[in-house]
């Protein structure tokens, strides 16, 4: 699936919820599917400092496709990074670097993009894209 299609898929999954708590329950569940980073790779250079929760992210390129693993000490953050990785995983570095992540707004998570929320969603997106750019320049 393309990055576009995966985002459409996520949007339709979220469409069924009209209660915020149900939405977050689903996000929490998604966190459990997050491809977890090798604990040995939880080093400072892989740490994205959000103000409140910590996120570690590792990126590799296998056969020209991006592969991400991550973890966080907060469960909701794990769910959110899980969503991002679901969209970006197995995509080409070009696609990741130039991705327009319209699903964030559509499923109502844009509040996590505001700097005051500071849970590092902005940092996560930046880091995901930076790693794709590095892969391109490598």
Residue ranges in contact with other proteins by CB under 8 A:
20-21, 23-25, 28, 51-53, 73-77, 119
How many whole angstroms separate alpha carbon 127 and alpha carbon 134?
Answer: 10
Query: Which C-beta is closer to other proteins: that of 78 or that of 86?
Result: 78
Q: How far is the CB of 68 from other proteins (least distance, A)?
A: 21
Q: How far is the CB of 25 from other proteins (least distance, A)?
A: 6
62 phi and psi angles, rounded to 5 deg: -120, 120
Annotated catalytic residue within 13, 15, 43, 51: 51
How many whole angstroms separate alpha carbon 98 and alpha carbon 94?
Answer: 6
Q: How far is the CB of 75 from other proteins (least distance, A)?
A: 5
Residue 127 region, left (φ>0) first, then alpha (ψ -120 to 50), else beta? alpha
Is 42 a residue of the active site?
Answer: no
- Report, as residue numbers or ranges, the catalytic residues: 51
């Amino acid at each position: 699936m393309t990055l576009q299609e995966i985002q459409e898929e996520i949007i339709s999954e979220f469409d069924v919820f009209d209660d915020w708590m149900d939405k977050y329950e689903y996000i929490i569940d998604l966190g459990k599917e997050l491809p977890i980073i090798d604990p040995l790779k939880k080093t400072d250079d892989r740490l994205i400092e959000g103000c409140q929760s910590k996120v570690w992210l590792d990126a590799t390129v296998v056969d020209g496709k991006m592969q991400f693993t991550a973890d966080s000490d907060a469960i909701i953050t794990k769910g959110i990074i899980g969503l991002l990785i679901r969209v970006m995983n197995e995509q080409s570095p070009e696609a990741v670097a130039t991705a327009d992540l319209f699903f964030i707004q559509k499923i109502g998570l844009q509040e996590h993009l505001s700097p005051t929320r500071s849970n590092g969603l902005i940092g996560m997106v930046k880091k995901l894209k930076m790693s794709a750019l590095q892969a391109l320049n490598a």
